[in-house]
Chains A and B, each alone.
Chain A
Amino acid sequence: MQTMKRMAGVLAVAAATAFGTHAVADDLPGFGSWDEVVEQAHGQTVFWYMWGGSDNINGFVDNFYGKPLMEEYGITLERVPLADTVDAVNQVISEQEAGATGDKGTIDLIWINGENFFTLRQADLLYGPWAEGVPNSALVDWANPAINLDFGRPVEGYESPWSSAQFHFVYDSARLNEGDLPRSYAELGDWIAANPGRFSYIAPGPGAFVGTRFVKQLFFEVSGGHAQWVGPFNEELYNKWAPEVWKMLIAWKPNLWREGETYPASNAELRDLFANGEVEFDFTQSPSGPASNIESGLVPPTSRAFAFDANLIGDFNYVAIPFNAPNKAAALVTANLILRPDRQAAQVQPANGFCCGWAIDVARVSDAGQQAAVAEAMQNLGDAAADPARLAAALVADIAAEYQSRIEADWQAHVLRGEPLPN
């Protein structure tokens, strides 16, 4: 039995290295080679801390990672569900304060991005750099700024991408015609004026980044383009356009749901308003649109995704390994498995219940069997998905993290509470 498992392990290594052979010893601190990682990982348990609010995602992780990890690598996956990823960040910080260094921590892998990544990186509490050292990272387009920057901060090999998401919208095809859909913020403004009380958006604020993203994209449109926003935080640029954006959102208020006195606070609240017919649009981040919500009976089966013509932010989410992770080898194997083309193909299909899109550049997949899996997945996005070509045409990268907190604070002051605008 033991030799069988080892055999499976060796085969898996052979398969993995077939997709990318540039694993260099220096790229995996503490390990001499990828073989050594796989050997050491055998028999380990990987404690993977992740937001656990979706039973679809939980089930996907258990089935599509838990099983192959055990069968091919002899690794046990322990998924630890979190109500908020910041809890895992606090745990790592507490452990460091208590002196639990080396491999005396408790967390092996965290599903992470943005501020949480930045907090751990700034405190130097992450293991790495390793992300460009795992074999399947050869499939990742590390030259893409949307991947090598996380909310404008350099990734530098301290986290490895899991999946991608892009902001777009959902409507109910039983209630609206595709031809009448707004395709820009300007058109949305007209639509709101013509349909009072039928639109709302998630209040920008901590923990509601989708709402912040909705407003951030309006900055791009109002200022005439996304390009000028790339790079470090630019106070002058922000101050120039912010009043325009607030004026526009304040002008919408009387025609919003509940006259803009209150806004849904989370994705789930906006989704419920949409499902109950109180508003006409929901937001989505998934390339398959509302498909998994339709499956769960959370929105009407006639729900469909659609995209604006421009300025829709897409980004990547990652996995990171804390500096004191007790099972670093198993964490590395898990991060590598995540990027395997057949797992990536599984995660984009709505039937499997995961939320999001590709992390790998599918054009880099060379193995014939894996190419077939990728091609099949492309066909299975479902009827509810937005046209991938339109989404790709509107894709822009997220911008520096400072904009996020500024937008949240200023939106609450001027739009929500009605404090006067600076002149």
Chain B
Amino acid sequence: MSDAAPTASTNVSARDGNVGAAVRKVIFYLTIAFMCLMLVLPVIAFFFNAFAFRWFYPQFIPKEWSLQAWERLDLIPPEGERTLANFIALWLEVPDAVSALWLSLSIGAVVTGISILIGLPAARALGLYRFRGKRIVEFMIITPTIVPPIAFSLGLNINFIRWDLALADAGIPLDLAGSVVGVAIVHLVPVMPYVVLTLSGVFANYNADFEAQARSLGAGPIRIFFDVTFPAILPGLFVAGLFAFLVSWSQYLLTFLIGQGRVITLPMLLFSAAGSGNNAVIAVLSLIFIAPAVLILLVASRYLSGDSSAVGGFGRV
């Protein structure tokens, strides 16, 4: 604005241009502010609901506040008994919401790790090489995002039960159906497309000649991976891992069907609470549900910006 002042008095069209720029700036910031508001408002609503009591129309802001939803979820002791000892006793019993949070985090972490181990070689092949039937392979990898989960999970559940019975007959007491292991395996189905898609985009922009160079300088395959490949694809790995975690984190139907209702992750609690329409309890669970996701996004945000090499799809698709 400072350099606009001298020209403004002499050049009308330039002044119009500057006014236009200012207006554009205002619109730009308004748009940003509006977008932030749209993103933040629902979260603010969660905060209000989580602590509001008897929040009925026409109250704009709740008149009464209460921790009853937190009490109902056994996260804090009832009023009048909120001593440190009671808090510790309550949490030592591990409230359902806490064990569900822990289970969701564990499954998410394991699924993320495995999906990257499987997805990395596949993505490298798809990103770097052209081969017969590549299109078909790409299509096969995306299919889980197209086919609704209900279509394959009911059948998968029956097969898991069959395998469990066969394993039990063979003297191996491994349960896939109704177990955390089975749920983690089935989460891989919707997770893999995101991981492979993200990582093959990274490899499409990756120059494998660097590896040849390192090899010519005498580096072994392990050294090449950790000193050359890994640093180059790290941002992409981060984003792929983030997708993997968030997709696993938000699974309801697959967890329910394969977990047979016994593997109680956070979405399981959230869905069953949503049926009751107790907004306070739903809001508390929702806050617990979004907190890790928001934290991870904040940590990973620098890898998510537009100029990062992390996001690129299959490359030339």
CB-CB nearest in chain A for B57: A276
CB-CB nearest in chain A for B73: A55
Query: A297 is contacted by which of B66, B159, B165 (Cβ under 8 Å)?
Result: B66
Contact A297 B262 (CB under 8 A): no
Question: What B residues does A297 contact at CB under 8 A?
Answer: 53-54, 64, 66, 68, 280
State in angstroms the CA–CA spacing of A53 and B278 once bound together.
9
Instruction: Tell me the number of A-to-B contacts counted with CB atoms below 8 Å.
Output: 98
The answer to whether residues A53 and B261 also contact, given A98-B158, A275-B56 and a CB cut-off of 8 A, is no
Q: Is the C-beta of A82 less than 8 angstroms from some C-beta in chain B?
A: yes
Q: Which of B21-29, B111-119, B204-212, B264-272 is the interface stretch? A: B264-272
Quick one: CB contact mask for A33-66 with B, threshold 8 Å, 1 for yes?
Answer: 0000000000000010101111110010000000
Q: Which of A19-27, A141-149, A154-162, A265-273 is the interface stretch? A: A265-273
Q: Is the C-beta of A388 less than 8 angstroms from some C-beta in chain B?
A: no
State which residues 50-85 of B face A: CB under 8 Å. Answer: 53-54, 56-58, 64, 66, 68, 72-73
Q: Is the C-beta of A91 less than 8 angstroms from some C-beta in chain B?
A: yes
Query: B161 is contacted by which of A56, A95, A296, A300 (Cβ under 8 Å)?
Result: A95
Query: B165 is contacted by which of A56, A91, A98, A272 (Cβ under 8 Å)?
Result: A98
Q: Is the C-beta of B305 less than 8 angstroms from some C-beta in chain A?
A: no
* CB proximity of A401 to chain B, nearest CB, Å: 23
* CB proximity of A97 to chain B, nearest CB, Å: 5
Question: What B residues does A266 contact at CB under 8 A?
Answer: 277
Question: What A residues does B178 contact at CB under 8 A?
Answer: 106
Question: What A residues does B277 contact at CB under 8 A?
Answer: 266-269, 271-272, 298
Contact A55 B262 (CB under 8 A): no
Give the bracket for the number of chain B residues in contact with chain A.
35 or more
Tell me the interface secondary structure of chain A in the complex.
mixed
State in angstroms the CA–CA spacing of A78 and B165 once bound together.
23
Question: What A residues does B273 contact at CB under 8 A?
Answer: 53, 55
Quick one: CB contact mask for A328-370 with B, threshold 8 Å, 1 for yes?
Answer: 0000000000000000000000000000000000000000000
Quick one: CB contact mask for B272-289 with A, threshold 8 Å, 1 for yes?
Answer: 111111101100000000
Query: B268 is contacted by which of A81, A98, A100, A278 (Cβ under 8 Å)?
Result: A81
State in angstroms the CA–CA spacing of A81 and B272 once bound together.
7
State in angstroms the CA–CA spacing of A96 and B157 once bound together.
12
Q: Is the C-beta of B162 less than 8 angstroms from some C-beta in chain A?
A: yes
The answer to whether residues A53 and B158 also contact, given A47-B262, A81-B269, A297-B53 and a CB cut-off of 8 A, is no
The answer to whether residues A55 and B72 also contact, given A269-B277, A275-B56, A298-B278 and a CB cut-off of 8 A, is yes
Question: What B residues does A277 contact at CB under 8 A?
Answer: 56-58
State which residues 78-92 of A face B: CB under 8 Å. Answer: 78, 80-84, 87-88, 90-91
What are 24 pairs between A and B in contact, CB < 8 Å? A53-B275, A54-B278, A55-B73, A55-B276, A55-B278, A81-B261, A81-B272, A82-B272, A83-B272, A94-B154, A98-B158, A98-B165, A99-B162, A100-B165, A106-B260, A272-B277, A275-B56, A277-B56, A296-B278, A296-B280, A297-B66, A298-B277, A298-B278, A301-B54
Q: What are the 6 tightest A-B residue pairs by CB atom distance, in nearest-first order?
A: A268-B277, A53-B275, A98-B161, A276-B57, A52-B272, A53-B276
**What is A's interface to B at a CB cutoff of 8 Å?**
47, 49, 51-56, 59, 78, 80-84, 87-88, 90-91, 94-95, 97-100, 104, 106, 266-269, 271-272, 275-278, 296-298, 300-301
